Structure 1
Amino acid sequence: MNRTHPESNTPERKQGGRPKLPDGEKRDCPVKVYFDRANYAKLVRRSKRTARPLSEIVYELAVNGYVKEPLSKETIKWLRALAGMANNLNQLAHLGHIHGPQYIADDNKRLSGEISGLIVKLNEQL
């Protein structure tokens, strides 16, 4: 069965693919750049480290003056652990409101020490 638009007899077609960029954001002016071998090797290493193409790295350096590097897997792991500890701390606060602060004192002290240690590690990493 052929679907047609109610006002015309032409079949409906879905727009496929990525939407077009506005004229101001479209990159349509190429620039050819040559590098010596040492600087090219630096770019290739940075490309592998950030998992981004060379053209994107050169563009970011030319426009912004720096390339924002992604967080390391270890840092992401620490941030997830910190989020879990924050959730546990909220649960302890809830229990403290119900049973009183003495009920959670030991757990609170242990957890706050772990959180402090993790924040120190994150500060050293960043």
Structure 2
Amino acid sequence: MEHKRKINSKNKGGRPKKGAADKLKYRLTVKMATSDYYTLKGKARSAGISAGEFLRRCMREGQVKERITPEHTGYVRQLCGMANNLNQLAHKANAAGFVTVRMECRVLVARIEELLNLILL
């Protein structure tokens, strides 16, 4: 009888059970083009991991850039216009001399700095 108790209380071994946060219990279906599928498989193979693990790591560690907002689009358009004006001023400066264009350049540079601060913040 004592021998049976010893067998039942013996540690069976094996790995410890995973916690609820570590279990992979959700399944997600993704549709992709053939070229995307083979790109994913190739990158996962070269990394030495499964495609699922590759996607999980990309989700955790990768970054997806946000789309540019309409407000920022307007700022970028204004910057492009200012860049064009700055090029025209540089052409004037080369043709007529720098002193006549100095003030216009300072005003444009200040406005460009203001727009960059709006975009970056």
TM-score (norm 1): 0.49
2:38 — aligned with what?
Answer: 24
Q: Structure 1 residue 64 and structure 2 residue 78: aligned?
A: no
1:120 — aligned with what?
Answer: 117
Q: Quote the offset at 1:93 in angstroms.
A: 0.4
1:82 — aligned with what?
Answer: 79
- 3-state SS of 1:24 partner: helix
Q: Structure 1 residue 109 and structure 2 residue 106: aligned?
A: yes
What is the RMSD of the two structures over their aligned residues, measured on CA atoms?
Answer: 2.4
Q: Quote the offset at 1:25 in angstroms.
A: 4.4
TM-score (norm 2): 0.51
Q: CA-to-partner distance for each residue in 1:55-108, whole Å, 9 max, x for gaps?
A: xxxxxx846325432111101110111111011001100000000001111111
Structure 1 runs of 4+ off > 6 angstroms? Answer: none
The total of aligned residue pairs comes to 72
Which has more helix, going by share of residues?
2
| Rg larger in structure | 2
Structure number with greater CO (CA < 8 Å, separation at least 6) is 2
- Percent identical across equivalent pairs? 31
